Amino acid sequence: MAMRGAGGTAGGLGEFFGGAALSAFGFYLFMSRVNVTTSLSSLWGGHGGYLLLSLSLGVALLFFSARSILGWLLTVGSIGSVFVSVISNLTFYFQSTNLFRTVAMLALFFAGLILMARGVRDTGAAIVGADD
């Protein structure tokens, strides 16, 4: 059986995993500069209290009777609504940094992607020691 490289091609495993490491490091550096915020007071225009009130009512109904369909609907629906509201009100901020660091982050990420692509590319050359 012939030994194959990255992606089943004759490409280089070293290039692929080196590129993956560079890309992951650049992605980590970039994402470590991003702040994500949300506010429960901004849930659907400031009506988060209604969601928490319906959640409390649903949990109370479930404590009274675990078979309460209304209790399950209120509880699951409220938790789902709070989750969707928080996700929809997320705000992303990129922390201030200098141009050199930003270019270095992006260069690491894209250089890693290019090395990964080169590692997967079939060069047509046989791998040393492979049985064809």
pLDDT computed for residue 113 by the predictor: 93
pLDDT computed for residue 118 by the predictor: 86
User: CA dihedral in degrees (33, 39, 40, 41; nearest 10)?
Assistant: 180
Task: Write the pLDDT tens digit of every residue in 1-20.
Answer: 555 666 566 667 888 899 99
Nearest residue to 122 via CA among 16, 19, 18, 20: 16
The answer to whether residue 44 scores a pLDDT higher than 70 is no
Going from N- to C-terminal start, the domains of the chain cover 10-120
Computed on alpha carbons and rounded to an integer, the radius of gyration of the chain in Å comes to 26
H helix intervals, the chain: 13-31, 48-64, 69-88, 99-120
The answer to whether residue 46 scores a pLDDT higher than 70 is no
Nearest residue to 78 via CA among 64, 65, 61: 61
